Structure 1
Amino acid sequence: MSLFTVVALLPLASPASAEAAFAPIVADASITVKDGKATPQVRLLSATADAKVEFRLRLKGATEPYAVVPDVPFGYGIPGQGAVWARQSPTDLKPGRTYLDLTVSDPSGGRLDVPQAAFIDSPAGVFTVSGLGVRTVTSAFTITTVVAHSGPVSKIVARLYRRGTAEQVGEDVVPTLRSTLKYSTYTRSDYAAAFDPPVGDYEVAISAWDEQGDVRTTRTSVISRKLVQRLVDLRSDPTWTDVNHPDATITGRVVDPAGQPLSGVTVGSGAPRTTTAEDGTFSLNVKATQDHVGVVALEHGDYAEASAQLAVERRPVNTRMIITASTAKAHAGDTIKLSGQLDVADLAGWRPFPGRTVSLFFWDGAVPGKEIPAGSAVTDANGRYSVNATVPGNGTWIARFNPALIDPDYWDSSARTDIRADFATQILAVGKPASPAAYRSSVTMTGQVVRRNAPSAQVPVRNGFVHLQFSADGKNWVNKGDASTDANGRFRVSGLASADGHWRARFEGNTPSHGSWDDPSTTASFYVDTKYKTAITSFDASPEPVKKGRTLTVKGKITKFTGAWQPAAGAALTIYFKPKGSTKWKAMGTTKSDRNGRFTKAFKASADGTWAAAYAGSSTYLGIWSAGDYVDVR
């Protein structure tokens, strides 16, 4: 079975005893049901803890109870709302409507019998009443009542009672229905009842009747109607404070609604308290730690508590920041130490400011306006701080305290230091030069210059100067050619070969005029053998066509370039033949050039094909092949 609690307050029943001092009030009673078992409880006003309570459960229409719980133990007190007596173990609930009858007695013999203090239906139906009140008011007030009901509400009434009594003040009030909200098993109806009593302490009892004419009643906590007192003419001397000058004297007056002074009123602002003089004035010495001071005139007699906020200017005090770096020059990717000190102004000058957070940032020199968080540190007892940071590039490091005046007691402060951060570079995808190389021909190298430990957008070195360098001994280098890197850092650089030796490509590095500090970098060196060029000209195989078996003569001229072209005398040449339809050359014979570089060789024509002459080269000269000459043999 679902858990339901029903609450009721019955009109005061007549005491069986004539003891006038014994007059408890049933503020509310309830029966809580869970798993078919009932647990009654009652809240009493004007009853002492030694009062005895007896519960009796009775079916509607019956005169005798089906369960009796004598000597219900005292449960707990509720400040300003009486005390609760509750059954410790539940009782089996019978089908139908069960009433809770109760008797309250005290050791002196006083007795109060209350029939039908509460009721519950089994199987469960919903009908509960609760009142939401206010504690202290200085004008007319409204009580909100919530009735949860599975059947109709036939009637609802609100009554005002003097605190802890059955003395009704004024007439019955019929609450106004404000809203309804339907749920699957019940409806919630919200009512409002307005009261405007004279000064005093009250409770409101709200009673609601169901369709069977049974009533549920609950009594609210105490509502105190008070007179208004006001705090006026509030002033602060001085009109401003800061952390070094927190003391202020707050003055003012406490008056009634007519402006007449109220004397003997306790006035406070936190711990400091004082009382008003005959003319209602007061003076409070306070420590002002914010931009306002709260002042309270405490409740007294028929007057309600009053409060006010007095604006007091809060002035920030100065701070100063120092930052130093462990080095003024580093490489991107290095770890550096940023340290410094935070001071705060006090009455004597400057002193270390411990326990404060210093935030560090990096301004990227390559991307104006880009600020990167670089960590934070808390200052020690001497106001010192330090942070280890990874250098992302060339730029400025900034230490800040209290940005945007998050702590209004202190002015913000910052310091900065510039660190030149070089990027280490390297040359990737190196294309080495060909060897051997012809004298006074181009030697070419390719590659890509990149920055190490740089953001992805800065990895390629754009518009960097690259030299092609030559060294005969591998130690002393001279520039033979220049080139610039493209948008992807790639380059192609060439120079003329003039001797045997070593070749390499060197990136000379950049300065901020090219976007950043970049270290130079160099490729490995490559040895290139330089030889003189040769050429075979005027090569001819004749006659053409030629009859098979007849003599075929090949001839031509070989020259060499050593600064100018001249005959290559005494050069050994090989004559090659490639038959028609074949891809392979066959050596047919050799010959030597004469002093004019000319050569000739005779062969017997045997098949169609192409003839060519080749010079194999030497340690000084490059080899060369002639152009081919096709001969038709018939």
Structure 2
Amino acid sequence: MRFRASAAAVTGALALSAFAVPAAHADGAGSAYRAQAGKLLRAAHSAPGKQGVTSVRGGTPYDLDVSFTHFKVAKAITVGTTHHIAATVTYTLNHGADVDITADDFLNGPFIYRGSFEASDNVVFGDEPATCKVVTATTANCTGKIDIYPGEGYLRNPDAGSWKGGALALAFNGQNQEHPDPSKVGVARKGGLGRTSLQRGSRQSVNASPEPVRKGKAITVTGALTRADWEDNKYHGYTRQSVKLQFKKKGAAAYTTLKTVKTDSRGNLRTTVKASADGYFRFSFAGTSTTPAVNSTADFVDVR
């Protein structure tokens, strides 16, 4: 589940009608959770009171006695242009004795957001609620997913970088989960529980020629460094980036760096070295805050 609009821009009853779940992901056991999590999070954000505490007022969900600790999410999540990404999140759910977390209509799950918690620029939920294992009468260990679908327009290139983690719990208390009375639904939500980074998927190619080559002659090594564009769902050259040309002699255990080359205005790489021995060439990119590290596959050159 995703939404881009600022939570602060939508209030009260309007918040409950302003969120639509993409039809492709609206079926199955988790449909009620997917359909309501974003709506009720917005409604809770719009309620009076301090962060994390809501009040019973008209169509506003009431404050649920639930909190979240020990939130863990991957340091970085790589997102390409086509494949669905499901990142695992674990956390501890703490609750009051009067909250029945085993009820069929008690749902909870993680989310990540960009910007401030109360007025986030973008939020990404999981498709399904988390699953929890009861530890004590008031605690449970939970595991949930963050589901990301490249190509659906919910991520833009500027979204690459730092995101924060949060969690949400919903107690429907017997309400129709698709059309609940918000004032009878309990909501607990908390931001700032952890941090992750969404990174644009990267690719690196290499080609060393000629093959075979005489010892002492020049070998030309070319390649291209590209990364995912979340707005047109294609890979484009990553320009002006430093990339290491590395070589591993046949029979050796590790690569050594020969030189550092910069990509041109189209993300292409080109350099030359002298042939010295049979071995493997590759380009190695160390990565940036928005793009993960990547090594090309090895290209073997026979030196005669």
> Which bracket does the TM-score occupy, shorter chain normalised?
0.5 to 0.7
Between the aligned partners of 2:90 and 2:97, the Cα distance in structure 1 is 19
1:556 to 223, 237, 244: 223
Residue in 1 that maps onto 2:119: 476
1:598 shift after superposition = 2.6
Aligned counterpart in structure 1 of residue 163 of structure 2, from 502, 505, 510: 502
Question: How many angstroms does 1:459 deviate by?
Answer: 6.1
In the alignment, structure 1 residue 534 sits paired with structure 2 residue 202: yes
For 2:102 and 2:215, the matched residues in 1 are separated by 66
The answer for unaligned runs of 5 or more in structure 1 is 1-421
Q: Give deviations 1:390-446, integer Å, cap 9, x for gaps.
A: xxxxxxxxxxxxxxxxxxxxxxxxxxxxxxxx9733335522232375587858351
Q: SS in structure 1 opposite 2:87? A: strand
> Is 1:575 paired with 2:218?
no
Q: Which amino acid aligns with 2:74?
A: P
Instruction: State whether structure 2 residue 132 is matched by structure 1 residue 464.
Output: no
- Does residue 153 of structure 2 align to residue 486 of structure 1? no
Aligned to 2:278: 608
How far apart are 1:613 and its partner, in Å?
A: 0.6
Question: Using the alignment, how far apart are the partners of 2:124 and 2:65 within structure 1?
Answer: 25
TM-score, structure 2 normalization: 0.55
Alpha-carbon offset, residue 510 of structure 1: 0.6
Return the letter of the residue paired with 1:512. Answer: N
Q: 1:487 to 1:604 in 2, by over 3 A?
A: same
Structure-2 residue corresponding to 1:588: 258
CA shift at 1:453, angstroms?
A: 5.4
Alignment of 1:210-609 (within 5 A): 424-435=65-76, 442=85, 444-448=87-91, 450=93, 452=95, 454=97, 464-477=107-120, 478-482=122-126, 483-486=128-131, 488=133, 490-496=142-148, 498-513=159-174, 520-522=188-190, 524-537=192-205, 539-562=206-229, 563=231, 564-609=234-279
Q: Aligned-pair distance for 1:589?
A: 1.5
Structure 1 counterpart of 2:297? 627
Cα drift, residue 630 of structure 1: 2.3
**AA partner of residue 145 (structure 2):** V
CA contact (8 A) 2:168 2:188 kept: yes
Tell me if structure 2 keeps the 8 A contact 1:445–1:468. no
Does structure 1 retain, via aligned residues, the 8 Å contact 2:66–2:169?
A: no
CA distance in 2, matches of 1:479, 1:595: 33
Please list the CA deviations of residues 288-317 of structure 1 after superposition, one character each: whole Å capped at 9, or x if unmatched. xxxxxxxxxxxxxxxxxxxxxxxxxxxxxx
Q: What residue number does 2:8 align with?
A: none
Q: Which amino acid aligns with 2:129?
A: S
The CA distance in 2 between the partners of 1:461 and 1:608, in whole Å, is 66
Where 2:166 maps in the other structure, the secondary structure is: strand
Q: Percentage identity across aligned positions? A: 19
Larger RCO (alpha carbons 8 Å, 6+ apart) = 2
Task: Sort the Cα spacing of 1:569 and 1:525 in 2 relative to 1 into closer, same or farther, 3 A.
Answer: same
**Structure 2 contact 77–87 (Cα < 8 Å) conserved:** no
Number of positions where the alignment pairs a residue of Structure 1 with one of Structure 2? 209
- When the two chains are superposed, the root-mean-square deviation of aligned CA atoms in Å is 3.7
The secondary structure found in structure 1 opposite 2:131 is: coil
CA distance in 2, matches of 1:479, 1:598: 34
Distance 2:168 2:71 in 1: 13
Q: Is the 8 A contact 2:276 2:303 kept in 1?
A: yes
More deviation in 610-619 or 441-450?
A: 441-450
Structure with bigger helix share is 2
Shift of 1:576: 0.5
Q: Deviations over 1:34-79 (max 9, x none)?
A: xxxxxxxxxxxxxxxxxxxxxxxxxxxxxxxxxxxxxxxxxxxxxx
When residues 476 and 501 of structure 1 are mapped into structure 2, their CA distance, relative to the original with a 3 A threshold, is farther
Assess, with a 3 A threshold, how the Cα gap between structure 1 residues 544 and 577 changes in structure 2: closer, same or farther.
Answer: same
CA deviation after TM superposition for structure 1 residue 499, in Å: 4.2
Displacement, 1:612?
0.5
1:79-98 alignment, distance < 5 Å:
none
The structure richer in strand per residue is 1
Query: Structure 1 counterpart of 2:267, which letter?
Result: G
* Superposed displacement of residue 600, structure 1: 1.9
Kindly provide the CA deviation profile for residues 76-116 of structure 1, in whole angstroms up to 9, marking residues without a partner as x.
xxxxxxxxxxxxxxxxxxxxxxxxxxxxxxxxxxxxxxxxx
What secondary structure is seen at the aligned counterpart in 2 of 1:484?
Answer: coil
CA contact (8 A) 1:502 1:525 kept: no
SS in structure 2 of the partner of residue 549 of structure 1: coil
Partners of 1:573 and 1:614 lie apart in 2 by 6
- Residues 516-571 of structure 1, C-alpha deviations (whole Å, 9 max, x = no match): 9866253643344445443223x112233333333322111222333343233443
Matches within 5 A, 1:99-110: none
Checking the alignment, whether the CA contact within 8 Å between 2:110 and 2:130 is kept in structure 1 is no
| Aligned-residue offset at 1:611 | 1.0
Deviation (angstroms), 1:587? 0.9
- Structure with higher Rg: it is 1
1:332-377 per-residue CA deviation (whole Å, 9 max, x = no partner) reads xxxxxxxxxxxxxxxxxxxxxxxxxxxxxxxxxxxxxxxxxxxxxx
What TM-score results when the alignment is normalised by the length of structure 1? Answer: 0.29
1:610 offset after TM fit, Å? 1.7
Q: Pick closer, same or farther for the CA change 1:629–1:495 going to 2, 3 Å.
A: same
Counterpart mapping for 1:162-201 below 5 A: none
Q: Give secondary structure in 2 for the equivalent of 1:513.
A: coil
